[in-house]
Each structure stands twice: as structure tokens, then as C-alpha cells.
Structure 1
């Protein structure tokens, strides 16, 4: 890949002579004399106008890959770029000294990847995903960026950071792995198209959580008089799912969250399996993230003596595995959420029996999740702990009650679920990983 043209030529002339149509080079570029570019067959490198590239830099564009460097970009000394899929650096971005951009990683040396056992570093092959630096992004000295990462417009990555997951626009990120330390009001800069994450919820009324709506009830400047009557104009979905959607949108305002809540009141696993199948058949939606949880009605119907609607544990397990089999084919990440326990809906002894049975269904859901590489969110333990420490339920107006009726949740119960969901998302950095480009 090293040039053999005359040293008397400018760097731009040398590169044009070496690579011809595989290189698109803009005007007024400041390219170091020792810039060593490698462009394999079928690859392409684009360098925009007024790009500065200092000494010791080495861009390598491997077979079939593309690198696109925008206008007014500054690349510091001893910067290394190695590309198998693609890298795009937006206008006005800066890449400081001694930094490393690799859009690929070695695959593990499994028997499937290296069936012959060949002992060479590249025998297992590579997993690759593009890297994007949006306009105005700045990488400080000695920063490493790994495959699949997108760094937002105006973002500033501090020295010595390792960026292994995407960074939001208008933020300062530092550390290993790099994490956002603070946000700022970013200067005007061209913005990439907004990313969209589609999040689905499949479950019972605890996910659906319908509330009656009249516009006047929520208009602070035009609230109805106390004692007056209003007409229910419709239903809105609220509860922990609605609040989680608001939390996601507030935490990642540069991302569009397409929330699809398929919760249905009274649904058993039998019903929800039909909902999952029908959703795929009618909409064909691919999901980035799905929350799946059911079982409380499967158990409750038996204790209500509604035996035709009740679902025993074996049938429940079959439905749950079928849903996970199907969802795994078009969902990037699945979170199975346990059911919340029954509250004071019957005599204490009956409630205890109901919860003993429901816990068996939660155990089956946890096993199904593990078998399908899905996360399992156990809200049972924190929910019962909160119920133990809070005041005994005294009706739906009791601020210490987690349940409005022993099954459906109050705002306090919803908050317990919300906190557990947010904690799981944060611990596993799920949204950050979903914002990365897949390999």
C-alpha cells in the first residue's frame, strides 16, 4: 500500500497518482508529507475541502470499505484509522493526536470460527460495524473509538477515553468506557437524521393501564369546578409504561422513541400470544426493545372459578416460549418482566395461595428468558419489600398503597415498577447499546 511516486510531488499529487478513482480529494487540503494511505481494491476514500492531516497519520481502507471525511476537518498527529465496513467524519470535526478508530474487532477463536484450529491472529475473522463522527464532534488526544459507535454533533470526548458506545450530541464524555459527564447548549451544526428506537410492550392491564380522559381535566387554566360533571371523551394509556416513555424521551431528546403498547386488560398468556402473532402478521414491525410479561390473569382466572379462561403452568410455558421464539426473530433486545404479586384482593390465606402459584409462573418466565438470551427483570422482590415497609393499604386514596384493588397498581406501585425498569436499562446500558450500529 506504500506509495512509490517521486518525493518531489506534493502529497495530494502522490495520492492521486497512486490511487486514481479510488480516492476523491478536495481542494486546499494540508496533508503531511509522510501521510501513508492504504486503499485496497474495491475500497474508496473521500477527503473533503480544507482538511488538515498532520504527520504520522495512517488511514487504512480495506477491501470494499469506505471512508468519508467532510470539509474543514482536522486530523492530528499519529492518528490511526483502520476500516473494514465504513467510517464517516462530519464537517468541522476534529480528531486529535494519537487516537485510534477501528470499525472492527476480532471474533473469538471458537471452533465454529476456526474449525481448522489455524494459529494466526486473523483466522477467526472480524466483526465490523460503521463509525460515525457527526459535524463538530471533537476527539481529544489518545482516544480510542470502537466498532459501531456514533458520536453526536458537537460532542467532546476527553483525553484517553475509550468510546465503546454511542455518545449523544452536545455532551462531554470521558472515561473508560466513555460516559456522558454533562450536557450543554450546542452551537449550530448540521445534524444527522434522528435515530428512532421502536419499543414494544406486550402484557396485561398492568402495562395497558387505561385512564379516562377529558381534555378539561388536564388543562390547568380551565379545570372544571369542584362538584361539576364532565364527560369521558376517551381513554389514554398511562401507568409505568407511559412514565418510562417520558423518561426515555427526556434522557435522550435527540432520539425518537416509537412506543407501541400492546398491553391488554384481562389478557392471559393465551391471549397475548395471539396479540404477538397478530402484530407481526398485520404490521411486520421490527423492534429494538420489547418488554414481555404476563401470568397474573392465567392464575387469577382459576381462583375466580373461570376455568375456561384459566391457563395452567404447562400451557403458559408453551405460550411464553412461543412468544420468545417469535420475538427473537425481529427484536434486538428482549426484557421479560415478572408479574407483580397480588395485593389484598381476597382473604390473606387465599392471597398467599394465589401468590405461591403466581411465583411458579414467574419462575417459568425466568427460565424461558434465560433459554432465549433475554434479560429477566424481577420486580416481585422489590415490590413485596416496598409493600412490607409501607403503610397497610387503606383503599385507592391511601398514599401508602401499591394496589388500587389488589391487582391493578396505584401511582406508587407504578413508580416501583418504573424505578426497576430504569435501573435495569441503566445497569446494562441498553439504550446506549441499541443506539450503536449493529455489526
Structure 2
């Protein structure tokens, strides 16, 4: 685009809105561009931006719109923000595109207690809209609140974008669905969206492994029979393998796993861990996993009665954990405990499993009451163990899902990984987590403020960081 002299509309906008607007150099703005900025709103327009005739940019009180460099916006397009809209460098937005980061809330009694008969009486819910570097939005597309359109992605004409789209993707439809992908350059300046995952459970989740750098350096492995010190403990097992699997499946996302599993922990202990790991009134995680009960039961059969947790206390503890986790995470998945396998302690495995199944049932009911998901792994473990080697509580098989009757072997880890991955696929949870949750407009601005600025003054609008 040829760099033009500053058109009169730019000087008019700067004069009218002062510090509430920032317009870069070399912009080509139509003379009939309509800009509305309420008190507390902010609009940033980068360098060499082209905006054609008939377009409206509306920034409501407290909202933010950030338009990057070398962006082209077509005719009769409408951008409206109550929370925040970010349009990355080199984005192309065609004609008659509608981008709103908010919706009317339903006219429920909770939202309209005095039955006021106006369209805005119920208030608004919102979430950011982010369109990353190089994306192309075709004619007559609607982009709804909470979605992220990743780098280079092309959205076909007349589509409605209701969920986030990955990079280098062609998508179309209502709702827009990926049609194909292509190989395209990805800008390193675009911060990767991060999915934060918290894990709360026992040693089955914790799965500590001794670590020495030489043990994992193929070119410098220690000699057979030599001794090396344990330098640290690392979390491994199915949790770590899931982390790797998700990162490979979704390479444009960042996955941050925070493993709070603890060996020997009962529900009594894990309740304390959850309380310390989930700050009050904070969404610390996008996804949280909870699993416990096996030690509550096992301690009783081991004769460690002071550590055992009865079913009534377990139910109370589990519900208290869910109360904290559902407040501190966008989604919660409860993982049922695996059955006890063979061991050589002489304990009554059948009786232990009967009691543990009872605790799993309590956990499933608590999860349902809290609106959390429950993954029952018990059937897959019993049928797989039987098929592998005719497993029974009295006979140790040659191949087993357990290393010692409680902790999982590599086979057990592989099965648990498959079950969790399948659950995530069946529930379509990872794509759902890439969409930002809607909140009441004031709460949304507070929740997502960090995506648009590092200060309250709008002095430095920066690329979004999570």
C-alpha cells in the first residue's frame, strides 16, 4: 500500500478522543469511518492500516480494540468491544464482517430482577476476540465473543466463527469448521495460547522417578554396573506422557502441567493440597484433574486406622475439593481410582476392591452434583487385566497393569493414558478450552485485562500474554 499523507479524518479523531485513541503512521482511513469511544475505552490503530468506507468501530466503556500494523479492513464492517478485540499484524478483514466481543445475557429473573422491559436490562456477557497475524476473514463473516482465530487462517465467506481455529487452516460454515490445513510461516512475535492443567491426587498421578542427566543423554549413557547419583525427582507416568501427547497433537498451544500428586495421600491430605494449590477467587487452571480414595481404603486394610478415611468423611472431603476446584478451574475431570491388583501381602484383595468401588461411586455422585466430569477407568482395567494374563486377585500374571498391586506398571500407564486421551477426544475438551469463557462485562474486563495491556493507563498496549 502506498503511504499517503495523513488524511483529515485522522486529525479529527485524535482531536476528538485525545489519549483514548492512538493512530500510527501511513494509515488510509475512509472519510466516513465512524468511531465511537465511550469514557474508559481505548482504540489503538497501528501503522499502514487501511479501513474502507462505511465501517464502524465501537468501543464501549472499559473496552479495548487493538489493530496491528498493515491491516486491511473492508467496507461496511462493524467492530464492537466491551472487553477487548485484538487484530494482529497483516490481517485482512473483508466487507460486511461483524466482530462482537459481547452478547446480551438472557432475560432471566436473576439478570432482570425488576422486570425492566428494555433490551439492555439483562446486561451483557463478554470475552476477548483475538485474530492473529496474517489471518484472512472473508465477506459477511460473523466472529463471536471468546474466539481466537490463529495465524494465517482463512475463514470462508458467510461463515459464523463460534469456536477458536488453529493456525494455517481453511475453515467455513455456520458454525465454521476446519476444512483443510496448509504449510504457512508462523510469526514468533505471536504469543502461544497456554492451557494450564492442574493435577491433584496420589502417587499414581505423582509417579516420581529418579533423575540424572546422564541417564537420558543417549551419547553419554553410564556404563552397565556403574553408579551415578540421583540428582532430582521428576514426575513421569501417564501424566507426563499425556503432556507430551497433547503438545504433539496441538503444537501451536502451550500446555503447562502442575502436578500436585502426593505419595500416600488420602482425601484428607489432598483436600489440604487443593486448598493450598488453588488461590481463592482465582481461575488458576483451565483444566483440573482430581483422583483419590485408594489410600483412604488401603490404610484401613493395612491396620493404619488413624490414617484411614471412612466413606462419610471421604464424601465430605471430595465435595469440598470439588467446590474449590470448580471455582479455581474452568473444567474439572474426576478420575476414578483403579482397582487393586495382585500383591504378596496376604490382604483380602476382593474385599479391598469392593470397598474401593464404593468410594468410586461416592466420587461419581459428587462429581455429577458439582457439574464436573467423571472418568470411570475401572471397567477397562479389570477387563484388560483379565485379557492380558487371566488376572485374578489370587494369581500374579506374567504381565500386569500394576507394579506392586497399587502403583501402575508401564502397561497400566499406557492404558490410563489411552483412557484419558479418549475422554478428551470424546468431550472435545481441548478445542473448547481454546475459547475464552464469557463473564459479565465488568468481570470479563478484569479477567482478560492482561491480554491487552500491562497497565491500567493504556499507556503501553502490548501483544497479549497469558
Q: TM-score range by the shorter chain?
A: 0.7 to 0.9
Is the contact made by 1:396 and 1:403 (CA closer than 8 Å) also made in structure 2?
no
Is residue 427 of structure 2 the alignment partner of residue 428 of structure 1?
A: yes
Classify 1:14/1:306 alpha carbon distance in 2 versus 1 (closer, same or farther; 3 Å): closer
Q: 1:243, 1:418 within 8 Å by CA — same for their partners in 2?
A: yes
If the length of structure 2 is used for normalisation, what is the TM-score? 0.80
Deviation at 1:293, TM superposition (A): 0.6
Q: Deviations over 1:128-184 (max 9, x none)?
A: 122122222222333321112222333333344432233344444444444555555
Q: Which residue of 2 aligns with 1:299?
A: 297
SS in 2 for 1:371: helix
Quickly say closer, same or farther: Cα 1:29–1:338, change in 2 above 3 A. same
Report if aligned partners of 2:151, 2:186 keep a CA contact under 8 Å in 1: no
Select which of 232, 235, 259 maps to 2:233.
Answer: 235
TM-aligned CA deviation for residue 258 of structure 1: 2.7
Partner Cα distance (1:17, 1:261) in 2:
50
For 1:402, the equivalent position in structure 2 comes to: 401
Q: Name the CA distance, whole Å, in 2 between partners of 1:150 and 1:374.
A: 25
Once the two structures are TM-superposed, the CA of residue 346 in structure 1 deviates from its matched residue by: 7.0
Which residue matches 2:351?
353
- Report SS of the residue matched to 2:107: coil
Q: Deviations over 1:292-313 (max 9, x none)?
A: 1100111122222332222110
2:413 corresponds to which residue? 414
- Once the two structures are superposed, the pairs formed by residues 131-210 of structure 1 within 5 Å of their partners are 131-180=129-178, 184-187=182-185, 189=187, 191-210=189-208
Does the aligned pair in 1 maintain the 2:76–2:97 contact within 8 Å? yes
Contact 2:283 2:329 in 1 (8 A): no
Deviation digits for residues 316-351 of structure 1, max 9, x if unmatched?
A: 112112222233343332221111112233799943
Helix, strand or coil for the counterpart of 1:305?
A: coil
1:391 corresponds, among 368, 389, 392, to 389
Q: Tell me, what secondary structure is at the counterpart of 1:358?
A: helix
Considering Cα pairs closer than 8 Å and 6+ residues apart, tell me whether 1 or 2 has the greater RCO. 2
- Contact kept, 8 Å, 2:95 with 2:140, in 1: the verdict is yes
State the Cα RMSD in Å.
Answer: 3.3
Quick one: distance in 1 between partners of 2:95 and 2:386?
A: 57
Match of 1:75 among 73, 76, 81: 73
Measure, in 1, the Cα distance between the counterparts of 2:331 and 2:324. Answer: 13
Aligned to 2:13: 16
Q: 1:265 to 1:391 in 2, by over 3 A?
A: same
How many angstroms apart in 1 are the aligned matches of 2:182 and 2:382? 40
In structure 1, runs of 5+ residues without a counterpart are 1-9
- Secondary structure of the structure 1 residue equivalent to 2:146: coil
Residue pair 1:11, 1:35 contacting (<8 A) in 2 also: no
Q: Relative to 1, partners in 2 of residues 1:235 and 1:87: Cα closer, same or farther, differing over 3 Å?
A: closer
CA contact (8 A) 1:392 1:401 kept: no
SS at match of 1:414: helix
2: CA distance, partners of 1:367 / 1:420: 20
| Cα distance change, pair 276–44 in 1 and its aligned pair in 2 (3 A) | closer
The answer to whether the Cα contact below 8 Å between 2:267 and 2:293 also exists between their aligned partners in 1 is yes
Q: Residue 152 of structure 1 contacts residue 167 of structure 1 at CA under 8 Å; is this kept in 2?
A: yes
Structure 2 unaligned blocks of 5 or more:
1-6, 440-466
Q: How does 1:103-142 map to 2 (within 5 A)?
A: 103-142=101-140
Contact residue 131 and residue 150 of structure 1 kept, 8 A: yes
Which of the residues 358, 361, 370 maps onto 1:363? 361
Q: How big is the shift at 1:15? A: 5.4
**Contact 1:396–1:410, Cα closer than 8 Å, also in 2:** no
Instruction: Say which is worse superposed, 105-114 or 29-38, in terms of deviation.
Output: 29-38
Cα distance per residue 1:71-105 (max 9 Å; x no partner):
21111233222222221212211112332211001
Report the TM-score, using the length of structure 1 for normalisation: 0.85
CA contact (8 A) 1:393 1:402 kept: no
Per the alignment, in what secondary structure is the counterpart of residue 243 of structure 1?
A: helix
Pair 1:332–1:223, CA change in 2 (3 A): same
